[in-house]
C-alpha cells in the first residue's frame, strides 16, 4: 500500500472521496466548522518547570552546519 499523495501529490489527495465536499479554490476564504465540544483551557501545573533547550554538549560535524 502506498501513502495517499505520495505518487500523485496534492491532486491525489484533493480527488479522494473523503474530501469531495471541499471547495479547494475557496478553502482559504472559508470559516472552519464549529467544534462539537467547547475547548477547555487548562492552567499551568504548579509543579511544572519552564525549560529552555540549549546546545550544550551537542557535537556538530560539517554536515550539520549546512
- Give residue 13's pLDDT: 92
On whether residue 55 sits in a domain, the answer given is no
On whether residue 13 sits in a domain, the answer given is yes
On whether residue 23 sits in a domain, the answer given is yes
Please tell me the total count of domains within the chain: 1
On whether residue 65 sits in a domain, the answer given is no
Q: Which domain holds residue 20?
A: 1-31
On whether residue 46 sits in a domain, the answer given is no
pLDDT one digit per residue (tens) for the chain, 66 residues: 588 889 889 999 999 999 998 999 999 999 988 888 877 777 766 666 666 777 666 676 656 555
On whether residue 8 sits in a domain, the answer given is yes
- Give residue 40's pLDDT: 75
- Give residue 55's pLDDT: 64
5 neighbors 13 (Cβ within 8 angstroms)? yes
On whether residue 27 sits in a domain, the answer given is yes
Distance CA 23, CA 31 (A): 12
Q: 37, 34, 13, 40: which is closest to 24 by C-alpha?
A: 13
- Give residue 8's pLDDT: 86
On whether residue 24 sits in a domain, the answer given is yes
Amino acid at each position: 500500500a502506498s501513502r495517499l499523495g505520495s505518487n500523485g501529490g496534492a491532486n491525489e489527495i484533493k480527488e479522494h472521496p473523503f474530501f469531495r465536499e471541499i471547495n479547494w479554490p475557496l478553502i482559504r476564504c472559508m470559516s472552519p466548522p464549529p467544534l462539537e465540544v467547547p475547548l477547555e483551557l487548562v492552567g499551568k501545573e504548579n509543579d511544572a518547570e519552564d525549560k529552555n533547550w540549549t546546545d550544550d554538549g551537542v557535537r556538530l560535524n560539517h554536515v550539520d552546519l549546512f
